[in-house]
Each structure stands twice: as C-alpha cells, then as structure tokens.
Amino acid sequence: MQHPGPAAPERFPARERCADGAQFVAGRPARGTSGRTHTVVDPATGEDVYAYELAGADDVDAAVAAAREAFGTWAGATPGERSDAMHRFAAVVAERAEDFARAESLQCGKPLKLSREFDVPGSIDNIAFFAGAARHLTGQSAGEYSGDHTSCVRREPIGVVGSVAPWNYPLQMAAWKILPAIAAGNTVVLKPAESTPLTSLLLARAATDAGIPDGVVNIVTGTGPEAGEHLVGHPDVAMTSFTGSTAVGRRVAAVAAGTVKRVHLELGGKAPFVVFDDADLDAAVNGAVAGALINTGQDCTAATRAYVQRPLYEAFVERTAALMETVRLGDPFAAGTDLGPLVSHAQRDRVAGFVDRARAHARVVTGGRAPGGELAAGAYYLPTLITGAPQDSEVVQAEIFGPVLVVLPFGTDDEGIALANDTPYGLAASAWSRDVYRTGRAAREIRAGCVWINDHIPIVSEMPHGGYKASGSGKDMSAYSFEEYTQLKHVMSDNTAKARKDWHRTVFGDR
C-alpha cells in the first residue's frame, strides 16, 4: 500500500488558484453571498484544501441574468463562429491538462492516472466533438407538404440552460452539460456539487480565456436545496439539465414542472454484468474487476451485479476476488496507485453501511472494511465482493456507489436476462459470450441505454449516453444530446398569394 503522505503543495494549489471565490459569473470569478461557507476536503488525507462562500439565490439570479444577456449575441453567432471559439476552448483545456488532472484528483481522490488518462482527455475530446458538431445540425428539407405552402424547420437554441452536476466525474459532467448546450447557441449556468467545484471553475476560466463571450458559461457553487432548486425553478431558465441520483432527479423534475421547462435527467444506475457459460472467463474476470472498481465504483455505469451462468460461477467468484485483492489502494498522487479513496468519509460510511447490512443474508468473500493502517485518515474502502445476496435485497437493488460487486449464479439464458432487467434502473449493462446469438439477444432484450458486448465501461463522444427506466431520460454526448438542446420551429409560407385561401371556406362559407 502506498503512503498517503501530507497534502503537499504539488497536489494542486486550490486556495491560490481559486482565491477569488467559487462562483464564475459574466466572465469573472466571484464570491458567493449566501452567508455560509463550505470546505473542500481531500478525501485521501481528510485535510481541508479550500474554503469558499456558497452561492445563494442572489448569486443564481446574477448568473442567470448574465446568461440571459449573453444569449442574444451567442445565439446570433454563426455556427462557424461558435465552432471556432469552441476549438480554441479545447486547445486551452489541452494546454492546462495537468492542472485539470491534479485539481480533479485532489477534490475527488481519483488516482492521477485516471484523471490524466480518462477524465481530462475525455473532456477535451468532448469539447472538440461539439466544436465540430456546432456546424452540423441537420434537419428535414423544406417541402410543399400542403400543396399551397412551403414548410421548413428551424432548429433554434432554447435560451438559458440551468445545469446541475454530481461529484463523481465533476469535469466530465460539466463538459457533458456545457458543450452541447453552447454548441447549439444556448448559454449556461452550471451548478457543480458543492464538494467538487474546482475543475468546473477551471473550465469556465478556460472558456473565457479562449474567447467565449462573457456570460455564455457561468458557475454557481451552492447547495442543492438552495442554489440548485433556485436555478431549476428560475423563470428565466428555459431548460434544466440534471445529472445525479434518481431521488434528487424526481425532486428536480417536480420543481421544474412549476415553470414548464424542458427537463433532461441523467440519473442513477445498477448495471448488470451477464456472463454466459461460453464466455472467455479471463476476459470476464478482468472486465468485472475494472468495471466494478473504476473511479472507486463511483460510476453510474459501473458493473455492480454480476450474473454468472452456473458452470462458470465458482471459478468466476474465486478469480474475481483474487484479482480484486491485487488492486493497490493508495494515495491518488503516488505512482503505482490503482484505487483511491471514495469521494468523502460520508460516502465511505454509506458504502460500509450497505455491506454491513448485507452480512445478515449474504457472504462477503473479500473486502468489506476500511483498510486502516497508513490509509486510516482517508476515505478508503477495500474492493469488496459479495455472494449469496437474494435478488430482492438492498445490495442487489440499490445503487451503492462504491467498490462493491455482488455476484449471483443463474441457470438458463432466459433467467440471466430476466435477472439483469430486475431492478428499477436501466442505464448500462454488459453481456459476455462468444456466441453472437446470445450477445445479440442480450443487446435486444436488456432494457438499458447502453449494452456492452465483451467489455464494460468505455464511452465515446460520438455515441449517446443516457438511461432507460428510473435512470432518466435524454442523452448526453453525441449528436442526439446536441439536438436536445435545441427546439424545432415550423415555418410555413403561403405560396398562393390569394387573399381568400381555399381552407377559409371552413370558417366563413363555401361560396
């Protein structure tokens, strides 16, 4: 195990770099005016690394006003102009990649290799993708559908988008929310999770430095019930885009209904990992450990329920537990660390609670405790594998959001697919087999927004990400998400030049 070490200055100098506050409004950093402060804690050490003033309703109002003011000019820019600015934005983030990686690892406890090789390049790719997509909104061709008129469709931006993001991938979630919205000509007010504001602030700063006009990207960092709800319910916010838990998503949808705005919800997940008896066992074991432990299991698509067909079940459990035990927990900034802490001590205790309650009816094969020793001050939890849990039990049904994999056996293919579908969630799933008919069936019949075949986790900017069932509605990334940040207008022009149109007879006589 690696030593967590002291919070050395080389981690990321958050106090210095975000000295002017954790709000970003109209192109400038600002302090929150709620009268309350919040402290960002390094989950690897438990040390305070940045204290800031939380946003209140007035700060949200100021950010929404700035976004409204910027909307006319930004929406009126040509797609080419928006695209150019966004390409520069991608370049500025790429120049500052190491800063982004360190800030993300500091506030989340992610191993630096994950921030450097996944979060940051993924976000840069996302900005570059939407910079290109800005010039490629497509629509139906104009036509004479009534015979007497020419119809065409205008795809227009919606206005100010109020976005709310979670703490597990703060940079990527900010990118997924901001980029499709501004590519389409909207302006954005983003509320990051209060525990992880640093990379959203760096992102807004990079947008401004790249020449994206002031007010197009604004950040308000406050609590969910105060700043979040005020943003969601704001009458000048035309669309709410939320990523977070299903419970909060329900509340967000209810608040947004008060002003009848468009709502985009990316919610929780409980991804099944279905291993058929002809699968490559090596590949499935490696895939299960990587898919369950990425980001310390705090991933909405993480593999959480492995269903393994009986002939492979015993070997899968034994080998997966053995591989989990080789994963090196340690300080996120130390070379050689595979797995960091959870995002907070509260999240670690929540995960431990799920595992402890499961002991009454299930077996903890490996893990199931905090490591202690040199890592005791951090929010660490050992990779955990559970067997024997009933299908209707909490660890099988609820989102744990930690490094915990439940493994259960199944008999027939029908049973495996039925079990995979048997939770309220439907965000992602994977199927493991060498038989294309089996994997094809799994792809068709598992009700989830993404089904991987013989892999679990990879994402690409070109493809949509979003849930079925209680995992939400709407898509992030891809041209599909771009379209969600636009509204369609039908423009219908009379071609006859007649004062009395034929259809008027239905209103004032048929002479």
d(CA 383, CA 402): 9
Residue 5 within binding range of ligand NAD, rule CB under 6 A: no
Question: Which position among 55, 60, 165, 407 is part of the footprint of ligand NAD (CB under 6 A)?
Answer: 165
- Cβ atoms 391, 418 nearer than 8 A: no
- Cβ atoms 179, 126 nearer than 8 A: yes
E strand or H helix that includes residue 38: strand 37-42
- Which residue's beta carbon is nearest to the bound ligand NAD? 224
3-class SS of residue 313: helix
Q: Which of residues 298-337 bind ligand NAD (CB under 6 A)?
A: 300
Please choose, out of 49-57, 248-256, 353-361, 403-411, the segment that lies near ligand NAD by the rule CB under 6 A.
248-256
Q: How far is the CB of 359 from ligand NAD (least distance, A)?
A: 24
Q: How far is the CB of 250 from ligand NAD (least distance, A)?
A: 10
Residue whose C-alpha is closest to residue 275's, from 50, 124, 169, 431: 431
Angle at 295 (CA atoms; ends 443, 315), nearest 5 degrees: 60
Q: Which CB, 423 or 471, lies closer to ligand NAD?
A: 471
Cα-to-chain-centroid distance, residue 61? 25
C-alpha torsion sign, points 310, 286, 274, 304: positive
- Cβ atoms 107, 38 nearer than 8 A: no
Q: Which of residues 445-504 bind ligand NAD (CB under 6 A)?
A: 465, 467, 471-472, 476
What six digits make up the tokens of 475?
A: 């898509």
Question: Which position among 55, 164, 285, 364 is part of the footprint of ligand NAD (CB under 6 A)?
Answer: 164
Size of the site for ligand NAD (CB under 6 A): 34
Residue 263 within binding range of ligand NAD, rule CB under 6 A: no
What six digits make up the tokens of 1?
A: 């195990």
Question: Which position among 180, 228, 340, 426 is part of the footprint of ligand NAD (CB under 6 A)?
Answer: 228
Q: Which CB, 241 or 320, lies closer to ligand NAD?
A: 241
Plot region of 497 (φ>0 → left; ψ -120 to 50 → alpha; else → beta): left
Question: Which position among 4, 244, 341, 426 is part of the footprint of ligand NAD (CB under 6 A)?
Answer: 244
DSSP assigned state of 476: B
Q: Which CB, 384 or 481, lies closer to ligand NAD?
A: 481
Residue 399 within binding range of ligand NAD, rule CB under 6 A: yes
Residues in a beta bridge with 366: 385
Residues in a beta bridge with 472: 266
3-class SS of residue 118: helix
Q: How far is the CB of 132 from ligand NAD (least distance, A)?
A: 22
Residue 252 within binding range of ligand NAD, rule CB under 6 A: yes
Question: Which position among 167, 316, 380, 381 is part of the footprint of ligand NAD (CB under 6 A)?
Answer: 167
- Cβ atoms 366, 348 nearer than 8 A: no
Q: Which CB, 62 or 428, lies closer to ligand NAD?
A: 428
- Cβ atoms 332, 101 nearer than 8 A: no
Q: Which CB, 315 or 346, lies closer to ligand NAD?
A: 346
Q: How far is the CB of 73 from ligand NAD (least distance, A)?
A: 29
Angle between helices 97-108 and 79-95 (to 10 degrees): 70
What six digits make up the tokens of 251?
A: 């509340």
Q: How far is the CB of 176 from ligand NAD (least distance, A)?
A: 8
C-alpha torsion sign, points 238, 241, 247, 250: positive
- Is residue 229 part of the annotated active site? The answer reads no
Q: Pick the catalytic residue from 194, 229, 266, 483.
A: 266
Q: Which CB, 439 or 461, lies closer to ligand NAD?
A: 461
- Cβ atoms 340, 44 nearer than 8 A: yes
Quick note: the x/- pattern for ligand NAD over 404-443, rule CB under 6 A, is: -----------------------x----------------
Question: Which position among 129, 316, 401, 468 is part of the footprint of ligand NAD (CB under 6 A)?
Answer: 401
Question: Which position among 269, 340, 409, 474 is part of the footprint of ligand NAD (CB under 6 A)?
Answer: 269
Q: How far is the CB of 354 from ligand NAD (least distance, A)?
A: 14
Q: Which of residues 271-300 bind ligand NAD (CB under 6 A)?
A: 300
3-class SS of residue 157: strand
Question: Which position among 33, 150, 245, 366 is part of the footprint of ligand NAD (CB under 6 A)?
Answer: 245
Q: How far is CA 55 from CA 2, 60, 201, 216, in A?
A: 37, 7, 13, 19
Q: How far is the CB of 466 from ligand NAD (least distance, A)?
A: 7
Q: How far is the CB of 379 from ligand NAD (least distance, A)?
A: 14
Q: How far is CA 140 from CA 134, 145, 152, 288, 489, in A?
A: 17, 12, 7, 43, 12
Q: How far is the CB of 297 from ligand NAD (least distance, A)?
A: 11
Q: Which CB, 229 or 483, lies closer to ligand NAD?
A: 229
Residues in a beta bridge with 126: none
Residue whose C-alpha is closest to residue 225's, from 64, 34, 31, 24: 34
Q: Which residues are catalytic?
A: 266
Q: Which residues bind ligand NAD (CB under 6 A)?
A: 164-168, 173, 191, 193-194, 223-225, 228-229, 232, 243-245, 248, 251-252, 266-269, 300, 399, 401, 427, 465, 467, 471-472, 476
